[in-house]
Amino acid sequence: MARRMRSRSPEGLLLRAFLAAMLIGAGLLWLPWSHHGHVGPLDALFTATSAVCVTGLAVVDTGGEFTPFGQLVILALIQAGGLGVMSFAALAMHLLHRRLSLLARAALSSSLLQRDLTVNPKALFFRILRFVLLAEAGGAGLLFVALRPSRGAAHAAYSAVFHAISAFCNAGFSLYAESLQDLSGNALALAVVMTLIVLGGIGHPVVMDVARRLRRGASAVRRLSLNSKVALGSSALLAGGGALLLLLFGSAPAGSPWSLRCSDALFQSVTARTAGFSTIEIGRLPAASLFLLVILMFIGGAPGSCAGGIKTSTAALWLAKLHSRLHGGKWPRLFGRHIPGELSRRASVIIGLAVLWNLIGIFVLLATEQRTPGATMSHIVFEQVSAFGTVGLSTGITPALSTAGRLWIIATMYLGRLGPLTLATWIAQPRISGIRYPEERIMIG
């Protein structure tokens, strides 16, 4: 088996690993003791895909339709998806006493943003695992404190563990039918969930870089790596700017207290970056607020994290390239550093393919969901981008999707989780063509 795994490309191994996890999860969720009798095979496949791809879109109520065993299966799939199946594959190959090829190490290095291609996969995996478990354990403890007064010790403990893992992995699955709307006034619970979302969405490399600098003194924080500066700066800008715009356009029911409006706006701005929890009814938001959330979902979180989307660094690099071109420059510049042209070309390709896939998806859903109640143009766009960004927010049309619509959303969640990474790995491989065709100009603009 190790010989067969070694002969395959790393991106192919990643695709097969996620697909296998989805199918195994669907089989487990379809078992009679996993649900209360109202979950079909397509429902099980949809839920398993959403869990493995840490999306959170659901066609059935997680807390109402699945038994405790089914919920634990979902939680295990979320954890596996959050950690990344490729790191499991690297660890498995290491335990089999087989060395990874240079190409496989490069793919693993790219996905986890490690500079050293000689990194030990086993050590890297356990370092990430330790960080994940510490963050989730701390979050679960604080959530238990926040939920204990209103929900009882046993339920609070179970709910705290489930939502801590779901929040850190940016999955958005909730045991409550209306997500976290009942916790809208619980400041501690929402603060913990937002912190877990940010930690999971900012990525292990950035967190480790910040921690390493802090150990050297506060002055060393100013010497963070460029990757960390871009991730932290763009995330803060998107979260803060998104919250302000949501306050302006509307994010809470009319007449709500100012403190509650601010809290809901900040929470939705953070969670739209691929977490998928909600403290408000998304379907009732104004069109401008929905469009803002679509932009946040499309961008997503930082590379090397649990988040989806095109990634903050990709968006920042594309904007820097646009700014440079408009001012007659040749190379994009971020934080006083020029970025290699190869990276900016990758960013352009990733954004181009992401836009193309979502345009096709919107067209497909508009064709398949003509008779779906409430499936307006804005709701279709929102659903498509939410699936692509592995966010999980919905205007409420997910359970009513047709069979064709559900299959498309399954494919979109799968591609949205794996597409940018596998594409970047594929593009990184040099391809030299010996043919050059004659040049000729066309009119543009």
What does the pLDDT read at residue 117?
Answer: 44
Report if residue 441 sits inside a domain: no
At residue 115, does pLDDT exceed 60? no
Q: Is residue 437 part of a domain?
A: no
Looking at per-residue pLDDT, the higher value among 441 and 70 belongs to 70
Residue type, 105: R
440 inside domain: no
- Quick one: pLDDT at residue 84? 72
443: in domain = no
Q: Is pLDDT at 4 greater than 60 in this prediction?
A: no
Are 143 and 195 in contact by the 8 Å Cβ rule? The answer is no
What percent of the residues of the chain are helix, what percent strand, and what percent coil, each to the nearest 5?
Answer: 70, 0, 30
- Number of domains comprising the chain: 1
Backbone angles phi, psi at 298, to 5 degrees: -65, -40
**Lowest-confidence region among 156-160, 285-289, 331-335:** 331-335
Residue 420 has a pLDDT of 58
State pLDDT tens for residues 146-157.
999 888 899 999
- Say whether pLDDT at 316 is over 80: yes
The 10s digit of each residue's pLDDT in 211-225 is: 888 777 666 556 788
Q: Given a cut of 60, is residue 105 above it in pLDDT?
A: no
Query: What's the pLDDT at 111?
Result: 47
Helix pair 10-30, 403-428: axis angle to 10 deg: 160
The two structure tokens encoding residue 204: 């292990």
Give the separation between CA 197 and CA 134, rounded to whole angstroms: 14
What's the whole-number mean pLDDT along residues 26-46? Answer: 93
In a domain, 439, yes or no: no
100: DSSP letter: P
Q: Give 362-386 pLDDT, tens digit per residue.
A: 999 999 999 888 889 999 999 999 9
> What is the 8-class DSSP label of residue 336?
T
In percent, how much of the chain has pLDDT > 90? 44
Kindly state whether residue 438 falls inside one of the protein's structural domains. no
- Decide if 434 is inside a domain: no
Closest CA to 98 of 122, 124, 127: 122
State both tokens at 2.
Answer: 């190790």
Contact 100, 146 (CB under 8 A): no
Domain that holds residue 104: 2-428
Q: Are 164 and 191 in contact (CB under 8 A)?
A: no
The pLDDT value recorded for residue 43 is 95
CA 406 to chain centre: 19
> Is it the case that residue 108 has pLDDT exceeding 60?
no
pLDDT at 327 > cutoff 80: yes
Angle between helices 204-215 and 187-202 (to 10 degrees): 100
- The reply to whether 332 falls in a domain is yes
pLDDT at 425 over 60: no
Q: Cα separation of 153 and 345, whole Å?
A: 53
pTM score, two decimals? 0.87
**Residues counted in the chain:** 445
- Predicted confidence (pLDDT) per residue in 116-145, tens digit: 444 566 677 777 888 889 999 999 999 999
